[in-house]
Amino acid sequence: MAELTHFDAQGNAHMVDVGGKDVTERIARAAGRVTMAPETVALIEAGAMAKGDVLGVARLAGIMAAKRTADLIPLCHPLQLSSVSLQLSCDRDRNQVNIVAEVKLTGRTGVEMEALTAVSVAGLTIYDMCKAVDRSMQIGDVRLIHKSGGKSGSYDAS
């Protein structure tokens, strides 16, 4: 099992020094979903939600969140991201909106937290925009599905 790097020898939390790491292209993809009533998915697809374009606003919220991850997660490094993209799609068969975020940079540390934050905030934004018609929505299955770059190499969820 890998050792925890966010603790010093005395057990105190600290920001990891990445100054000696190689600069490489780093990519992370994360996914999640918001499960809801069938009528809610239909309203989103029809663009009929009172607050506006749910998927468009959630996409922007996810992009903004990825850029602000270091402000939200205490030990994350502020990063110069080169790309953030979100794909949101309605799945009528499962009554959900699927969210996939991809974050890229060329740097010394990975972007997994930025991708996970993007998915989480996009899900929260969907909830916020739809809660007036469906308070039973569930945000779930937020997970890392791919990462590449850096010393630890690639990871793909099975």
Catalytic residue among 128, 134, 141, 156: 128
Burial environment of residue 47 by CB neighbours within 10 A (0 to 12, 13 to 18, 19 or more)? exposed
Asked whether the beta carbons of 65 and 142 are under 8 A apart, the reply is: no
Known catalytic residue: 93?
no
Q: Which residue has the tokens 């603790």?
A: 7
As a 3-state breakdown, the chain gives helix, strand, coil percent values, each rounded to 5, of: 30, 30, 40
Q: How far is CA 117 from the centre of its chain?
A: 4
Cα–Cα nearest to 42, from 106, 116, 93: 93
Q: List active site positions.
A: 128
